[in-house]
Amino acid sequence: MFRNIKVGIILLFGISLNIFGQNQRAVYLDDSKPMNERIEDALSRMTVQEKVAMCHAQSKFSSAGVPRLGIPDLWTTDGPHGIRPEVLWDEWSQAGWTNDSCIAFPALTCLAASWNKDMALLYGKSIGEEARYRNKNVLLGPGVNIYRSPLNGRNFEYMGEDPYLSSKMVVPYIKGVQENGVAACVKHFALNNQETDRNGVNVNVDDRTLYEIYLPAFKAAIQEGDAWSIMGSYNLYKGQHCCHNQYLLKDILRDEWGFKGAVIADWGGVSNTREAIFNGLDIEFGTWTDGLKKGTSNAYENYYLAKPYLDMIGKGEVGTKELDEKVRHILRLAFHTTMNKNKPFGSFGTQEHALAGRQIAEEGIVLLKNTNNVLPIDLKKTKRIAVIGENAIKMMTVGGGSSSLKAKYEISPLDGIKKRVGAQTEVVYARGYVGDPGGSYNGVVTGQDLSDKRSADELLAEACAVAKTADYVIFVGGLNKSDYQDCEGVDRVSLNLPYNQDKLISELTKINKKLVVVNISSNAVAMPWVTKVPAIVQGWYLGTESGNALAAVLMGDVNPSGKLPFSFPVKLEDNAAYTMGEFSGKNHQVSYNEGIFLGYRWHDKQNIKPLFSFGHGLSYTTFEYGKVTADKKEIISSDKITFTVNVKNTGKREGSEIVQLYISDLQSSVPRPVKELKGFDKISLNSGETKTVSFTVDSSALSFFDTGKHAWVAEPGDFEAIIGASSTDIKTKTGFKLK
């Protein structure tokens, strides 16, 4: 409230100064004027010192405005899954507010697993309202880096392995956020696909792979989503850090894509003043992340784009052309956000947002396996349920790095199950294993103390004893958001489940035939027990309403409809980054030797059977696909072609199916994937209902990036349109020709 009053006074003072003090009409304050005119007017009134001050942080999460002109400060916030609690001006420590507990939304892998663009819009709108209410101008998210390896600790913040799926899901998220007058800051641009040596590793990747795999989601965010800001990544590319990278920020982002917004450095991502000046960076944040170093009373003034920049201008070493461009981008961001008089008020921590998060969670949960229809649980025939596993009680809204949240509340899986079954069914709990008993992460204190002094054998014995007496056993395990799991800053060390969970699950398979394994993670895990467990559910990190959403799916209140946004390999060697020799690299160099062949593209090429395929997900009902037809058999490059297929719900209950279109180039002059996702549609069908699904594509869906021409090329020849329920569950296909 105080900040809003302060901004209002500053704005009023700025108007008075310009109208009466300078006797000039303040065009920049008139939002009826064209944006460019307002920007140039404001720029013309600013001193060099004021311009430079806008280009670097003044606190942990803010950069300066121009009080003299009524231009407010710019406030940013983590993260993509919820609004970070307030921290002190110069420290990461919590500010101690009592009214900054947010709604925690599901991790972005869960959103991607919904394959539902409406859910992406709802997500963006809801989190944008939370940011707006807290007077945050820039939301540091969403993340769209590609899932290259199941060991990347930060995969939970991203949207999977496929550039097309990520592109289609990120656009509505951005639009939802920005309709609140809050800028989405798409991250991390680009090639930030590992946490190991993330500040020092140089990524070696060919142009075709860069353009076909790692750039499309960013391009869609800019050109289709109209994102107002973008964040550079920590790693290097072509020997330059990505926060001031000539090729990425100037040649591609500005010149090829026409980006007019602000480029924001990741915290600590800047390392060179001259490169920061000339290579496209606009705002420097977090260079010394504790705020006060270098023996000064205000370290922010010594950031690379602060006093060193002013000194270079004063000495005549650099001009102010680049400075003016930076300020133009920042002013554009300000006019969209801090100085947007028409932005709504927002809302925070509401039940409406919690229910939105629950809906997204329910749509993203994936039923991986369901032998003999073990699920859903029939409570009329179930007297006792055993819930086993630490993840059934552990808070998951905290941890993971910068996205750690102080949630208003979090429903655990155990509490969600108990609440759903009520008094009619007994629910008993056994710990099963001890993973991370801690309750403090990145300044957020959960209040949980999960310490347990019992030995692994004692915990195993208790779990087995409980399982013997139950009608159903629900094991809730997987990863957590601690170091070396799903966590920023470090990568996983193994594909296997930690804390000896594989042994525990294997023992439970011998005791109870109605065993359901719920894997809480945002990464693929090995499942050596997969053939012995009748039902497996991919649970993700589901946020505030986690337990309620999971219980609704397990009990059949909600028919599962999520599908995997990345492949589950059987073993680590089935992942292309490992087969081709490099994941995290060595000597500060990593080479993407697999090129365009990652995820399902690699499995198709090598004829590798995955544990669970990209796009895989089961339902409590069944679907029947008709034969796909095309409205043309031949097209030219300027044509569009439409593929149509009927899908029928042949089961006994309503359900949603995600129909997937893949395109295959049957005769190409360059190596191409066997097939690539080029369309999807999530449809809801009542029992016995049939719907027609249509996909219309143009030559861009047939194209590859020609590095010689530096252009997208669709070669004449034969193609196939493939309709599948996953990348391996192919239902129907039809051929066509590009002339």
Positions marked catalytic:
266
CA distance 589 to 611: 30
Q: How far apart are CA 490 and CA 477, in angstroms?
A: 21
User: Which residues fall within 8 angstroms of residue 461, CB to CB, at 6 or more apart?
Assistant: none
Q: Which strands make up the sheet holding 62-63, listed edge to edge?
A: 62-63, 74-77, 138-139, 183-189, 229-232, 262-264
Distance in angstroms (rounded) separating the CA atoms of residues 170 and 193: 17
Around Cβ 73, how many Cβ atoms within 10 Å? 20
In angstroms, rounded to a whole number, what is the distance separating the alpha carbons of residues 164 and 276?
A: 31
**How does 174-205 read in b/e, with b if 16+ C-beta sit within 10 Å?**
bbbbbbbbbbbbbbbbbbbbbbbbbeebbbbb
Rounded to 5°, the CA angle 272-274-279 comes to: 95
Helix/strand/coil for 662: strand
Alpha-carbon gap, residue 221 to 176, rounded angstroms: 12
Residue 262's nearest CA partner among 228, 213, 285 is 228
Q: Does the CA dihedral 50-54-57-63 come out positive or negative?
A: positive
List the alpha helices (DSSP H) in 402-491: 413-421, 456-468
**Residue 12: its H or E element:** helix 2-16
Which residues, including other chains, have CB under 8 Å from residue 458's CB and lie 6 or more apart? none
Reported as type and span, the H/E element at residue 738 is: strand 730-738
Q: Which of 431, 390, 392, 396 is nearest to 410 (CA)?
A: 396
> From the centroid of its chain, how far is CA 360?
14
Looking only at the bridges linking them, the beta strands covering 440-441 and 444-445 are antiparallel
Radius of gyration of the chain (CA): 26
C-alpha count within 13 angstroms, C-beta hemisphere, residue 286: 18
Residues in the chain, total: 739
Q: Cα(199)–Cα(235) distance, rounded to whole angstroms?
A: 5
Cβ proximity of 539 and 523 under 8 Å: no
Q: Is 43 exposed, middle or buried (0-12, 13-18, 19+ CB in 10 A)?
A: middle
Q: Write out the DSSP string of 482-538.
A: STTSS-TT---S-SS-STTHHHHHHHHHHH-SSEEEEEE-SS----TTTTT-SEEEE
Query: How far, in Å, CA of 108 to CA of 283, rounded?
Result: 26
Q: Identify the CA nearest to 612 among candidates 598, 622, 599.
A: 599
Order of strands across the sheet that contains 717-724: 634-635, 730-738, 717-724, 655-665, 676-685
CB atoms < 10 A from the CB of 484, how many? 16
Q: How crowded is the C-beta side of 452, counted as CA atoms within 13 Å?
A: 18
Tokens representing 260?
């007019």
User: Using an 8 Å Cβ cutoff, are 330 and 54 in contact?
Assistant: yes
d(CA 307, CA 53): 9
DSSP designation for 103: P
